[in-house]
Structure 1
Amino acid sequence: FAAAAATEGLRAAVVVPLALRGRVLGLMRLFVDDLDALTDEQYLSLDVLAALGAFTIEKVRLHDSLVRLAESLNASLELGPMLQQVLQTTVDEMGFTAAAIRLLDREGQLLKLAAAVGLSEEYLAKGEVELARSAVDQRALAGEIVVRRAGEEAGWQYPEELARENIQMVLVVPLILRGVPKGVLRAYSARPRQFGPVAQQYLRSVAGMVALAVEKAELHAALQSRYEDLKLDLAEWYQFLALG
């Protein structure tokens, strides 16, 4: 755009990346008459302005992502595909290595795998998570967002499997609805990473929607089962009347 810049009388430009968590979201251009006249303080101000711009873009993008997730969760009652889509979107949006959702069994003793993205078949085949042997999940189901290094053996039921998966950091968020724990959402990172307030709040919002979707699917399944029972009862009643 050299000709257009010359027409506008633009002599020089400073280009600053709008970057967040190592990802470039865009570019900010500042047109100046003399690059040499810019001071270190002005360059620092540009960096700060670019960081604020990137943060704002990220917030808007994540908000839009949550809206899309809510729409997809409301569009279906098939829990498996819904949860799979939620995890894929979460991994893509936040730059995680992998993610998984585990739901409590009826006895509240096991966390059973409901959906996973980015994890190997060998890791997923390790077995169910026994709540009594997983302090990390106990803390999460009590309402805490837990961030732990995978290399810290204390708190994990399967620390060796985590190490073989090359997982460095894990963020565990509870699935809780009206005070009742439903399960956990885990996000995995293959590199050392600080799961900051934005990532934690995003996952808390996703977890809330997932918990609601799980309850909705459970209610639908219960109603469907009751409906089938009623149909069977009605068929037996007609048979009884026919015999009479």
Structure 2
Amino acid sequence: MKKKNDYFKTFCKVSKAFGTTLDNKELIDLIVSSAIETMDAKAACLFLADEGKDIFVPVAQKGLSKKYLHANPLKAKTIVAAIQKEGFLHFRDATTDPRLEHHEAKKAEGIATLLSVAVVVRNRTIGILSLYMAKPKDFTEEEIEFMSAMAEQGGMAIENNRLIDQVRHNAKLFLDMAASINSSLEIKEILHKLTADLAESLEMKGVAIRLLDKEHEIFKLVASHGLSESFLDKGPVSAAKCLAHALKGETQVIEDVATSKEIQYRNETLEEGIVSMLCVPIRSKDDIIGVLRLYSGVKRDFPEDTIMLVNALAHQGGLAIQNASMLMMLQEDKTSLEKEIWSHRMWF
């Protein structure tokens, strides 16, 4: 009964903190310390996914020395895959288990048993919570369920904070883009800034903007960031072959370039180190005039909020192009009118 009371008290404390703090560091530190306290553990560590590098990195730990070595990221990926499948992994003897590395370091650290559970949000593993015991231990089903519930609750709090940060970040990015359009009529400058800002903000390998040449049915490059010259000069990009979705006004997500049948220059794309792509049409009123393409060096599924942001920015890019076109037309009309007035004056 005492153990159940401990679980209940821990959940109450953690839930209250999750509802009152927006500081991610405080949240993850609380998850780690609460797991140690309730489970009478030696130490705990929370690993979160770094999508840019496709690895899980330690973001908070307690009870471990600074010199303690965690698993090699490549080796850890196989363990993470097993945890994702089973929901948890139990290493009763962490100093000899062949699935783990650095057995001597674990002995020196005083680690006997290790329990790792997945931190899952919306069916996506965003992290791993590991518990380290000083003495060999067989965990009960109830203890494993408690750890999994702690990890799940922590994951939801971390994800909520991430979404709040993302909303603020997206709003700032959109505001900066709108300000750029209002402050400059140099269309190339605006589009180059858009590609650079998107690549940096969304941690993309590269971003490119191509405008439609209706006469030749190709998309011509007008702005890019982060992509090599050899990749950009690979050849004409056919409107019909690889950007048919854009011509229909559809957003296209390509999760895996290697298996997609809609890539015109597959070998060149793979050589550039591109794994996933997001293609968004650029409109001017009701016409499709171009495409905004985001290139990722790691596999991504592009969440809905990211797709909405990129579509909104593509729309802003379309407005900038429309404004620049109207200015050019006004300038041409002005020049034509001046010539016409001058020719009439010649009669007098």
Q: TM-score range by the shorter chain?
A: 0.7 to 0.9
Q: Deviations over 1:153-206 (max 9, x none)?
A: 622322222122111111100112432111100000111111121221111111
Matching residue within 292, 304, 311 for 1:185: 292
**What per-residue deviation string (whole Å, max 9, x for no partner) do you get for residues 65-95 of structure 1?**
1111111122111110100001111111111
Alpha-carbon RMSD: 2.5
Distance 1:108 1:196 in 2: 34
Mean CA deviation greater in 56-65 or 151-160: 151-160
Aligned to 1:36: 37
Q: Does 1:56 align with 2:164?
A: yes
Q: Distance in 1 between matches of 2:206 and 2:187?
A: 19
User: Of residues 164, 168, 176 in structure 1, which corresponds to 2:275?
Assistant: 168
Residue in 1 aligned with 2:250? 144
- C-alpha distance in 2 between matches for 1:71 and 1:48: 34
Supply the distance in 1 between the matched residues of 2:188 and 2:332 (Cα, whole angstroms): 18
In the superposition, the TM-score normalised over structure 2's length comes to: 0.57
What secondary structure, in the 3-state scheme, does the structure 1 residue paired with 2:258 have? Answer: coil
In 2, Cα distance between equivalents of 1:157 and 1:209: 27
| 1:28–1:50 Cα contact (<8 Å) kept | no
Task: Give the unaligned 5+ runs of structure 1.
Answer: 1-13, 15-24
Any conservation in 2 of the 1:113–1:128 contact (CA below 8 Å)? Answer: no
Q: Return the alpha-carbon distance in structure 1 between the equivalents of residues 240 and 288 of structure 2.
A: 15
Q: Match of 1:27?
A: 25
What is the rounded CA distance, in whole Å, between the counterparts of 1:150 and 1:43 in structure 2?
Answer: 33
Stretches of 4+ moved more than 4 A in 1? 29-35
- For 1:211 and 1:34, locate their aligned partners in 2 and report how far apart those are by CA, in whole Å: 51
Cα distance, 1:152–1:46 mapped onto 2, change above 3 Å: closer
Deviation at 1:37, TM superposition (A): 3.0
1:154/1:53 CA distance change after superposition, 3 Å: same
Hey, what does 1:204 align to over in structure 2?
Answer: 311
More deviation in 102-111 or 222-231?
A: 102-111
Alpha-carbon contact 2:195-2:225 (below 8 Å) kept: yes
Q: Distance in 2 between matches of 1:232 and 1:27?
A: 68
Structure with the larger RCO, 1 or 2 (CA within 8 Å, 6+ apart): 1
- Aligned: 1:66 with 2:174: yes
1:81 to 2:189 alignment? yes
Q: Does the CA contact (< 8 Å) of 1:176 and 1:211 recur in 2?
A: yes
Percent identity, please.
25
Query: The residue matched to 1:91 in structure 2 has which SS?
Result: helix
Aligned partner of 1:18 in structure 2 is none
Residues in 2 aligned to 1:34 and 1:179: alpha-carbon distance in whole angstroms: 56
Cα distance change, pair 153–58 in 1 and its aligned pair in 2 (3 A): closer
Q: What is the CA-CA distance between 1:233 and the residue it aligns to?
A: 2.6
Separation in structure 2 between the aligned mates of residue 234 and residue 61 of structure 1, nearest angstrom:
52
Q: Which amino acid aligns with 1:144?
A: E
Tell me the residue number matched to 2:204. 96
Q: 1:122 to 1:34 in 2, by over 3 A?
A: closer
Count of matched residue pairs? 217
Paired with 1:106 and 1:218, the residues of 2 have a C-alpha distance of: 16
Separation in 2, partners of 1:158, 1:225? 39
Structure 2 gaps, min length 5: 1-13, 15-22, 40-145
How far is 1:106 from its partner? 4.5
Contact kept? 1:103, 1:111, Cα under 8 Å: yes
Give me the TM-score of the superposition, normalised by structure 1: 0.79
